[in-house]
Amino acid sequence: MYTALRRRFSLKHVKEIKEKLGINVIDPDLRTGADMQSVMRNQKDCKPDPDFICYEMYRDRYATEQDHTWLLEHDLRYDLTVIFPRIICGEYNKTKGHYHPLSSHELTYPELYEVISGQAIYLLQKKDLSDIVAVYAKAGEAVLIPPDYGHVTINPSASETLIMANIVSSRFTSIYGDYEDRCGAAYYYLSDGTFVKNDAYPYLTSLLRTTHAHHMNMPQVFPKRSIYSLIGNEKVVQFFHDPSPYQEELKNLF
């Protein structure tokens, strides 16, 4: 599994993460071709190599022990994900996709992302499919996954590695079953740069809409700096565990 190709990618992005964030990354969780088979569009005709590395996840990372202690004390997690530049079964490489469970006030847990290097498309969908939106983001931009949306991240490049960070509550486990049962998200992003509907959603009536990260109206609690700067900020803690006080602000997110 640890091929020469993977080692070459790993050495490059591990060095970049250290230089940009001051964070050492080791022992990632891996998503392989075998893991991604259930969410691909062209499953009958294309079988990805089961040992093929699609992306790496470095969970619970930090630059200093002080930062780590604060994260642990507040049940928060800072993660890094590296999505390699691949075309797999006619699609740009992507994450598997998942929903979050309910927090304490009938809203699901939110999640905040930042593109560290490369570019990303965050494909968000409500579970009832009443809204589906693709958010384009480039390095230095943040994207909020609001309550009640599932999400997939796409690396829309065949040559540039996507490195992204996220902050999220550590009080829950992500739910992958809906995406696995329906062969992925409601739309696929193909290697020709187009979105196509997923036929496993036969009653899909919502049209995909697009926006850009810099058009998102973020809640005022978030400063316009790297999301790592939120570590130590007591004002943001409640948002990640119980976003209900921010419902009015979130209505205008997109």
Q: What is the CATH number of the domain that holds 139?
A: 2.60.120.10
Q: Which DSSP state fits 170?
A: S
Q: Which DSSP state fits 145?
A: E
Greater pLDDT, 14 or 111: 111
- CA–CA distance, 202 with 22 (Å, rounded to integer): 47
Structure tokens belonging to residue 57: 């996840």
Q: Find, among 129, 113, 215, 235, the residue nearest to 162 by Cα.
A: 113
Q: Which domain holds residue 16?
A: 4-251
**pLDDT computed for residue 1 by the predictor:** 44
**pLDDT computed for residue 27 by the predictor:** 87
* C-alpha gyration radius of the chain: 18
Greater pLDDT, 179 or 104: 179
3-state secondary structure of 102: strand
Per-residue pLDDT averaged across 15-31, rounded? 92
How confident is the prediction for the chain on average, in pLDDT?
92
Return the number of other C-beta atoms located less than 10 Å from residue 173's C-beta.
9
Per-residue pLDDT averaged across 192-198, rounded? 96
**pLDDT computed for residue 6 by the predictor:** 52
Number of domains observed in the structure of the chain: 1
* Torsion angle, alpha carbons of 18, 5, 2, 87, to 10: 100
Per-residue pLDDT averaged across 195-223, rounded? 91
* Torsion angle, alpha carbons of 218, 222, 224, 227, to 10: -110
- CA–CA distance, 35 with 57 (Å, rounded to integer): 13
Predicted confidence (pLDDT) at residue 129 exceeds the cutoff of 60: yes
- CA–CA distance, 196 with 188 (Å, rounded to integer): 5
pTM for this model (two decimals): 0.94
Residue with tokens 């960070």: 165
**pLDDT computed for residue 11 by the predictor:** 72
Query: Quick check: 153 and 113 in contact, CB under 8 A?
Result: yes
